[in-house]
Amino acid sequence: MRAQHFVFMCPRCGKQFNHSSNLNRHMNVHRGVKSHGCGVCGKSFTQKSTLHDHLNLHSGARPYRCSYCDVRFAHKPAIRRHLKEQHGKTTAQNVLEAVAAEGGVLLR
């Protein structure tokens, strides 16, 4: 894997990004721009990925699986927190473990 080089920093909170487009998307959080709306309940979100995770609550889907204990989650932040607190692992390590368990090859 390649090392990440963070060269774009948010002037409001200091969070760092490796692409200017990611910083621009992040700035919507500070601006309060919520352009992604849920068609079921009307709740709005700043990022499309957050809306997709929210839709899992309506559908009951839990697509994020822990490779270490097979617990499933509806939201990415929930599995990130679980991996760190319960297993001392990162999301990347979880993905690599899942691929290895399936005997597959991870292509980039």
- Domain edges within the chain: 36-101
Amino acid 8: pLDDT: 94
Helix, strand, coil fractions of the chain, as percent rounded to 5: 45, 10, 45
Tell me what the mean pLDDT of segment 21-25 comes to.
92
Q: Which residue has the higher pLDDT, 60 or 108?
A: 60
CATH 3.20.20.70 fits 36-101, yes or no: no
Which H or E run contains 101? helix 91-101
Amino acid 108: pLDDT: 43
Amino acid 107: pLDDT: 47
Amino acid 12: pLDDT: 96
What's this model's pTM, rounded to 2 decimal places? 0.68
